[in-house]
Structure formats: structure tokens, C-alpha cells
Structure 1
Amino acid sequence: MPPLLILTYVGFVSLGLPDAVLGVAWPSLRTAFALPQSALGALLVGTGVGYFSSSIAAGKLVDRLGVGKLLTLSSGLITVAMLGYATTPAWPLLILCGLIAGLGSGAIDAGLNAYAASNFSARHVNWLHACYCVGAALGPLIATAALATTGSWRSGYAIIGAIMLLLTTAFAVVKGSFRARAAAAGGPQEAPGVPVPLAAALRQRRVWLQIAVFFLYTGLEVMLGQWSFTLNTEARGVAPETAGVWAGAYWGSIGVGRVVLGLVVDRVGADRLLRMATLTALLGCVLFAVGPAWPGAAGLMLAGLGLAPIYPTLMSRTPARLGPYTMHAIGFQASAAMVGGAVLPSLGGVLAARVGLPSIGTLAVVTAAGLWLLHELLVRSTPPQGTSDGA
């Protein structure tokens, strides 16, 4: 396996590791700072602003720094943020840590996705995102164990920060030889794509459709991962240890789905797989919304399996669907994903505070239905060969 691909896999693990911890930490964090449920929105928006800013510039960052150095710097930012979460005494400083974490995550996500989509098959792109889910599944398990052992939500972030420090060190060790070893192996270059004006990309209808799809997809994925623990413990009477395992299993189901479905995506066809996946996610959300504890947990896992191939397969389809607009489009998509991941869970917090926690299930169903509809429109707007025609 080429060294660049290996480092890309490790990068996606590091990207996922801190992302799902907040879902477990939030009830204790909210109590510690005497916050309402809706305050989660401020933290998610802060993270989203950082992510949006760095992902928009990711193409230029990859070109200027190379993937190895970008991973080192971005992982370092995430390390600082995680250790900041573990030590900060004030809520505004916690939001600042979220901004720093977003800057690191956005650069890793958009940069690696742009490279992977242009150079690897849909199978590898799914597996790369499965590595993200490995990190995202481990995060809640580490946070739950730390919370049960120490009684503090901060200890989970301290452990994640230490792990990220080790990963940052590993990236720093190999970054100097990263580009040279990739070239010696005859691998692809680190900065894919042909530069085109940003305004030209924004005139493409399919660019906007994909932006909307990524907005809804990531909002749904993060909303289920973020609020399932709180909904199960505070509204359905599930023990925190059990709810923490279910939260980890949700992210794990996305990871397993990406590994398994990555094996068949080339034979089934990307668009056909995505159509089946969006319907499966919708069914899972319905079960999660209407079911009590155990049926709701089954629906959560089913939704995870349905969501599994959507993000990576859509990313892998982008070069064929949008051609020379790919680099800009992937930056837009990654940014839209983070905005969706901030806005929709924040909306869930507002609804939880005003209507009640079960309203989050209803919001998940509506979001999943919108995701299915927009993807159908996207498929019908794409020529059979999936090439860009200026539509």
C-alpha cells in the first residue's frame, strides 16, 4: 500500500476520534457550566466557523504544504483544542477551543477528501471514511469509560488530547519524507484538480444540489450521534453506560457499513447504492423517533448503516459529476457539511428546550426525507456518464 494512502487512513482515524465525544460529555458539561440545552448551538457554531474557514482554503493548503505537513499542523490544532476542553474554566474559552478544533478538522477533511476523490476508487474512499468512524466510535467509548471511572467529563477530553498528541508527533516524524516517498512509489501528486474560477463553479446547478445534500446528510449524522445519548438517558430512562455504548455503536455501524458496502459499491453502482442507502436511513430514523429504548436503538443502528456510504460515495462521484469544478465543489461540500453539522443539531437543541427531547426524533425523520428527495433530484440532473455539462 502506498505510504500516502497509509497516512491518509491514519488521518481519517484522527479526524473522527474527537468528533463524537461531545455527545457523551454534554449532559455533564451542561450541568458544570449551568447551561440550557440550547447552549450547545454556540459551541457547534464556533466549531463550524473554524471548519468552514479552513475547508474553503484546503485546496491551496494542500498545494502549498503537502498532505503530510497539513496533517501535522491540523492535528496539532486539534490537540490544543482537546487539551483546552479538559482544562478551561470558562464557557467562552470552551467555545474558542471549538473554533480551534474546527480549523484543524476542516483542513484535514477537505484536503484529504479532495485528494482521495480524485485519486482513489469509491471502494477506498468508503474505507477511508470507515477509518473516520473507527475514531468516532472509539471517542464515545473512551469518554464513557473516563466519565464512569473519574466522574468528570474533562478526563475523556484529556485522554483524547493525549492520543492526538501522539498522532501529531507521528505525522511530524514522517512529513519530511512524505512527498519524496510518494513520488518514489510512482503515486499521484498531492494537489489534484485543474484550477477554475470559483464563480464558474457556483454557476453549476449540480454544485448547489450537492451542497444541499451534504448539508442535510451531515446535519442528520451529527444530530443522531449528538443527541441520542441525551434523548435515551433523559427522556427514555436508559442507563448512561448503556446509552454510551449505543452512541458508540451508532458510529460503529457507520464504520462497518462503509467497510462492507465499500466492497460492493463498484459492482452495485454508486447512484443505485446511494438510493438504497437514503431510504434505509429514513426507515431507521422513523424507528428511532417512534420506538422506546430498544426499538429506538435498533432504529439508530439501522440509520447508521443507511448513512454509512452516503458521504464517501458522494465524494467519489464528484470528479465524474463535476469535472473541472471538483476542487472548488469539494471545498464547498465539506463546508456545507460542517454548517449542516452545526445548524441541524443546534436546531434540535432549540426544539428540545421548547418542545421536549422527543422532538429531535421528528426532526431526524424530516431531515432524512429531505435528504432522499434532494439526492433523487441530483441523480436525475446528472447525465448518464456523470460528466459536467454546465447544468
Structure 2
Amino acid sequence: MRREPVAGKAAAVGPDTTLPVALGAFFLFGLPDGLLGVAWPSMRGEFQVGLAALGVPLLVLNGCYVLTAPLSGILTNRLGAGRALSGALSLYLLGLTAVALAPTWLVLVMAMGLLGLSLGILDAGLNAYAALRHGSGVMSLLHGLYGVGTFVGPLAGTAILVAGRGWRPTYLAVAVVAVVALIGIIATRRSWSERPAAARRASRPKESLWNSALLLSLVSFVCVVGLEASVGKWAFSVLIGSRHFSASTAGILVSLYWGGFTAGRLVAAATARFGTPGRLLTGSLATSLLGILLFWWNPAPELGAAALPLIGFGFAALFPLLVALTPQRMASARHAVGFQIAAGGLGAGAIPALLGVLLAEAGLETLGPALLLVALALVGCQFLAARAPQAAASR
């Protein structure tokens, strides 16, 4: 039986002033994610590190992210959602500033750790908020704003790099956006803590949290976020290093990947009421596989490049859809979402890092088949999850 958010409870406390702030926060989180892939060649040149060294800050960032994401539910229960989110966003602002001003490679890596610690709490907390207060349509809209950020990030970074200003000013600009988001969360902090009764029940840990449905879900999140991050981080390097695109053209193509990603989430938000989650999931997986195969095949430069927005469009609905389904499929949804977000963080760090080693050893063009293997693992998990007794019993 589907458990809907208790809209009447939420409405009783007045207009939901938190939703616009949540939308802005998701846009903010997308900016540095989309930027890093474009900034990396300049970063590694400045700090004189190898191609695969990108795995070091990614592993540190996502390792810290994995540590704090499962704690989001506990912190929210003890401090209140408003205080937990504002404290984590303050730490995020500090991390962004430290990245922008990092004088050495070691400081940069440590700053990425600060970002990871804050993002684990922020991402899990905001995703749980959306899953418990809103449906899959709002969830897709929130993640669509994340996609807007990942689209704007590479464009801004490319423009600054082409202007000869380096990668640092863009990170300072993101820090300014973080200040605005922090003010918004502080101003609405009481509204974040006024949760519906269903959300309060879902925040309690239960003995039935760990089951095959959750385990399959965690592997799926590793694959989904790992795929998203791998294309975003390595497509630029493949385009300029193997397929001989100019830096400006490659930057635009990576932005188009995130543009397809954003468009897919906005389309999912607009059409959520007209289709079933199962059909949307199947269509998204099929589109992703088609795009990856086309990118790997690369029969002509234009077709290989066109695969990037197709891949982004296919990936778009996967993450928000799986999060939105959590209150329906699992007990203790707030805590389950925390573990899912942590699994996604693990995928975002480990999979691009492992691919970096593979690309350095076997060549940049091995990105295509490697992406296909991860995508097939995701398809297998979803095939099993659809037939898991726990999932069937909760419908």
C-alpha cells in the first residue's frame, strides 16, 4: 500500500516556505559537481599531479560524505532539521572557500573532505525532506535544479578558463551562492522542523531496516551516482585527449550532457502523474544503455558527441525516482535514505577513481565499455529488486 505524505498536516502550519530554499540548495550543489570535470586539467597542471590523481580528492570527498550521510536522520532528530541543515551548509561554505584558496595539493584534498562531511548531511537531509513531504514529481523537480547547477557550472568554468582567469574564481562564486542559501535556511529554520506525522514516524529506526530490498537499493545507488559522476568527470578528458576536440567545444559538450540530465529531470517532474514509476525506470535505463553504446561506438565525432546529452537524459530520473519510492518500499524511510545517499557517495568517489586508473593504464577510450558494465550491473539490481519479497509486500 502506498504511503502518501500527510499533506493536510503540512498545510496546517501555513505555506511551505522551505521548498524554494530547497530548490536553491539543489541548484547550489550542482554547481561544483559540473565544474570539477572542466576544472580538473587546469587543477592538475597547477598542482603537477597525474591524470588519475583526480581519484584522491574524489575518494576523500566521498569518503567523508559516506561517513556523515547515515547520521543525517540522527542529527535531524536531535537538533531539528533547520539547525542540522544550517550547520552543515556553514561547513560547506567553509569547504568551498578552502578549495578556492588552496595553496597546495594537500590543502585542496583536505578542503574536499570538508565538502564531503557537509554534503553527506545536506544531501541526505534534503532528499529525506522531499521524499517524506512531497511526491516523485517534486523530487524530480528538486533534482532538476541540481541538473541546472551542473549545466551552469561547466559553462561558467569554461568561460573563465578561456578568459585566462584559471579555475579558482568560479569556486569563489559558488561560495557566494552558498551564503545566499545559508541565509534562506536560517530564515526558514522553524519550518524545516515542522514535519508531518508520517515523517516523524518514518524517522524512527526499525529492526526491519536491513533487508534484501535495501541492499539491492544500495548497490543501485552506487551504480547510478557512479555513472553520473564518471561521465561528468571523464568525458571532457576523453573529448580533448582522445577525440581531439578543442577545450571550449569539449566544455560545451559536457554542459550538454548536464543539460540533457537537467531536461530529463524536468520532464520527469512534469510527467510524473501520467506514468507509473516502473515504466519510467525502464525507459530511463533503456535510454541510458543506448546513449552509452553510442558514445562507445563513436561512428562519427558528431554522433559520439550527441550521445552525451542522451546519456544525461537517460540518467536523469533514476536517482530521484529511487529516493521517492523509499517511503513506499522500506521501513524507517529517513534512515534508509541516509544509507542510500551514503551509497551514492561511495559510487561517486569509487567508480570515477577506479575508472581513472583504468583510463591511465588502458587508454581513454576504455571509458565506454566500462560505463556499459556498470550500467548492466544497475539493470541487474533493478531486475532483482522488482522481484524482491520485501518490495512486493509493500506495494
Length-normalised TM-score, structure 1: 0.91
The answer to whether structure 1 residue 178 and structure 2 residue 185 are counterparts is no
Gaps of 5+ in 1: none
Q: Deviations over 1:119-142 (max 9, x none)?
A: 211111111111111112111111
Structure 2 match to 1:195? 204
Identical counterparts, % of pairs: 31
Contact 2:63 2:349 in 1 (8 A): no
Residues of 2 paired with 1:96 and 1:7: CA distance?
28
Structure 1 match to 2:236? 229
Residues of 2 paired with 1:17 and 1:317: CA distance?
26
Residues of 1 paired with 2:158 and 2:363: CA distance?
24
How far did residue 383 of structure 1 move?
A: 6.5
The answer to whether structure 1 residue 359 and structure 2 residue 372 are counterparts is no
The answer to whether structure 1 residue 244 and structure 2 residue 251 are counterparts is yes
The answer to whether structure 1 residue 157 and structure 2 residue 146 are counterparts is no
Contact 2:212 2:390 in 1 (8 A): no
Contact 1:50 1:99 in 2 (8 A): yes
Amino acid paired to 1:316: A
Residues of 2 paired with 1:127 and 1:67: CA distance?
21
Contact 2:71 2:121 in 1 (8 A): yes
The answer to whether structure 1 residue 258 and structure 2 residue 265 are counterparts is yes
Contact 1:81 1:100 in 2 (8 A): yes
Match of 1:276 among 273, 278, 283: 283
Gaps of 5+ in 2: 1-14
Structure 1 match to 2:313? 305
Structure 2 match to 1:40? 54
Match of 1:295 among 279, 303, 313: 303
How far did residue 108 of structure 1 move?
A: 1.1
Specify whether residues 120 and 346 from structure 1 end up closer, same or farther in structure 2 by C-alpha distance, changes over 3 A only: same
How far did residue 312 of structure 1 move?
A: 0.5
How big is the alpha-carbon RMSD for the aligned residues of Structure 1 and Structure 2? 2.0
Contact 1:147 1:156 in 2 (8 A): no
- 1:362-381 residue pairs with structure 2 within 5 A? 362-381=369-388
Specify whether residues 194 and 170 from structure 1 end up closer, same or farther in structure 2 by C-alpha distance, changes over 3 A only: closer
Structure 1 match to 2:4? none
Residues of 1 paired with 2:389 and 2:284: CA distance?
19
How far did residue 302 of structure 1 move?
A: 0.8
Could you say what secondary structure the match of 2:202 adopts? Answer: coil
How far did residue 69 of structure 1 move?
A: 2.9
Specify whether residues 255 and 65 from structure 1 end up closer, same or farther in structure 2 by C-alpha distance, changes over 3 A only: farther
Contact 1:25 1:143 in 2 (8 A): yes
359-368 or 333-342, larger mean C-alpha shift:
359-368
Residues of 2 paired with 1:145 and 1:289: CA distance?
28
Specify whether residues 385 and 370 from structure 1 end up closer, same or farther in structure 2 by C-alpha distance, changes over 3 A only: closer
Match of 1:136 among 143, 150, 153: 150
Residues of 1 paired with 2:142 and 2:25: CA distance?
9
Specify whether residues 158 and 384 from structure 1 end up closer, same or farther in structure 2 by C-alpha distance, changes over 3 A only: closer
After the TM superposition, which segments of 4 or more aligned residues of structure 1 sit over 4 Å from their partners?
Answer: 187-192, 382-386
How far did residue 314 of structure 1 move?
A: 0.7
Q: Deviations over 1:232-285 (max 9, x none)?
A: 111111111111111122112111111112222332200121011111101101
Contact 2:230 2:351 in 1 (8 A): yes
Structure 1 match to 2:3? none
Amino acid paired to 1:221: E
Could you say what secondary structure the match of 2:325 adopts? Answer: helix
Aligned residue pairs: how many?
380
Specify whether residues 191 and 16 from structure 1 end up closer, same or farther in structure 2 by C-alpha distance, changes over 3 A only: farther
- 1:66-215 residue pairs with structure 2 within 5 A? 66-172=80-186, 174-179=187-192, 191=200, 193-197=202-206, 200-202=208-210, 204-215=211-222
Match of 1:19 among 33, 55, 61: 33
Amino acid paired to 1:309: A
Q: Deviations over 1:347-373 (max 9, x none)?
A: 111011101111112211111121112
Could you say what secondary structure the match of 2:245 adopts? Answer: coil
Could you say what secondary structure the match of 1:351 adopts? Answer: helix
Residues of 1 paired with 2:297 and 2:128: CA distance?
38
How far did residue 176 of structure 1 move?
A: 4.5
Q: Deviations over 1:363-391 (max 9, x none)?
A: 11111121112111111225686618xxx
Residues of 2 paired with 1:148 and 1:230: CA distance?
16
Contact 2:75 2:84 in 1 (8 A): yes
